[in-house]
Chain A
């Protein structure tokens, strides 16, 4: 029963997800609307609680057992509770019951977001460019005809999309655009067909209970 019931649920709701795309009858459409707008959102809320609960449990456990880098878990927990309280009771821009301003210093959720999360996120991503430059220098070698073609195409697109490309030759941006429009699309479309067929086959296998690895248990 532990395995059969999820399989039955998966089959029923999988079919219910497909039917509204084919049958325009109001009963079907209203059922679909209820499933999506009410049921799915309730499930998503549970998933959010489950995810947050799991996150907190992992970090409490890390602190309790003094696992590697356990100090950082305190940072996560303190910021989690602090921002949650400010967000829940302070409102989006300090309009809630909790005061989020001391003199000129405001700490409402939008201010925290713009002054903490934005610079931190941007910094993390900015580092990527340095690693990419270093990795490109080390790994981009014209070892074969295919690799040489790839390298040339990359150079043309990299220069062609910039104003410099237009200054070198007005044909260069058009050629770069052609590379994106034709060879790129041809390759991507082939990959997309492969992925679509693969997804369809996997979806059918899951709906019909042939593929059961998602149930866990290692059967």
Chain B
């Protein structure tokens, strides 16, 4: 009887403590786990990989500090992939909060590439190879406006430069020159891109999202409205796997390193749920 009560009423502090241990310990000694790449991530990778050299990849960085651990590895992996393949990139955020993280991700990857570059053409140069457009409120305005003219919507970039003076923006006028948009987001922006940019201008949309919002997005993947889908830490780890194997880029794989923590956390939650259910069934039988 006492054991059953214990099973049903484990002190929440014990749950917190065990969870904290299993999450923190693997992060102290990180080791990247290899994962099996599933179809939604493979589709997204192929969509980026096959972007025409004359067209650009637009990345909507819409993650904030709360979802940074899940979504930032996606942004880093996509940036490494695109820059390696010499794909032109336009970055932007639909909200103000992610701007700092977007800048940090762009700075990190361009810094990595430029540190190894031997010639000017190996380097990634702002204005020539990529532009960070910044933020324009409210979100729907830039989504619709860029269908006609990107430089009309973003007259100045994040750093205050006139966008129409940047060499890249002379080639990339509107969505006709953008082959794919990837929305890395913890909220609704992927759906806005489909509703407004895809339905009206035919823009292809790929998505990187948090695990909790993934179930909302699978219908769009099935219909082909999303050109690929990267879900949570596992999705980011899959993209990292592809970038490392296919492109031979060996950088720190944050998402792959976080997978042991995620594995143990899931197992702990499953064990606690099973304990609770065993206690519940014994109690019910006793009644």
Contacts and interface: CB of A to CB of B under 8 A. Distances in A.
B23 A33 contact: no
Contacts of B265: 129, 133
A163 B35 contact: yes
Interface in B236-264: 259, 262-263
A151 interface: yes
Contacts of A29: 148
Given A129-B265, A133-B268, A163-B263, A37 B66 contact: no
Interface stretch (B14-22, B54-62, B75-83): B14-22
Given A48-B137, A122-B69, A137-B10, A159 B270 contact: yes
B266 A180 contact: no
Interface string A131-155: 0111011101110000000010001
A158 B15 contact: no
Contact of B19 (A37, A41, A133, A189): A133
Interface residues of B, number: 64
B218 A44 contact: no
A33 B153 CA distance: 10
A164 interface: yes
B100 A163 contact: no
A21 interface: yes
Contact of A181 (B97, B222, B277): B222
Interface in B1-56: 10, 12, 15-16, 19-20, 23, 33-36, 38-39
A70 B35 CA distance: 50
Given A36-B145, A113-B100, A130-B20, A125 B277 contact: no
A114 B68 contact: no
A65 B72 CA distance: 43
A37 B104 contact: no
Contacts of B23: 129
Nearest to A122: B65
A162 B234 contact: yes
A21 B15 CA distance: 53
Contacts of B97: 117
A92 B156 CA distance: 14
Interface in B188-237: 200, 211, 214-216, 218-219, 222, 231-232, 234
A57 interface: no
Contact of B16 (A45, A125, A130): A130
Which secondary structure characterizes the binding site on chain A?
helix
Contacts of B64: 121
A122 B38 contact: no
A173 interface: yes
A132 B15 CA distance: 10
A129 B263 CA distance: 14
A173 B266 contact: no
A166 B36 contact: yes
Nearest to B69: A122
Contacts of A122: 65-66, 68-69
A143 to B, nearest CB: 8
Please indicate which of the listed interface residues A21, A109, A162 has the most CB atoms of chain B within 10 Å of its own CB.
A162
A133 B265 CA distance: 9
A164 B65 contact: no
B255 to A, nearest CB: 12
Contacts of B152: 37
A40 interface: yes
A44 B69 contact: no
A117 B136 CA distance: 21
A36 B273 contact: no
Please indicate which of the listed interface residues A33, A163, A164 has the most CB atoms of chain B within 10 Å of its own CB.
A163
B276 interface: yes
A110 interface: yes
B158 A44 contact: no
A151 B66 contact: no
Given A129-B19, A161-B234, A162-B259, A92 B159 contact: yes
Interface of A: 21, 29, 33, 36-37, 40-41, 44-45, 48, 91-92, 109-110, 113-114, 117-122, 124-125, 129-130, 132-134, 136-138, 140-142, 151, 155, 158-159, 161-164, 166, 170, 173, 177, 180-181, 184-185, 188-189, 192
6 contacts: A44-B141, A117-B100, A122-B69, A130-B19, A133-B16, A162-B266
**Would you list the 9 A-B pairs with minimal beta carbon distance, nearest first?**
A121-B65, A125-B66, A113-B100, A137-B272, A118-B65, A134-B12, A44-B138, A158-B266, A130-B16
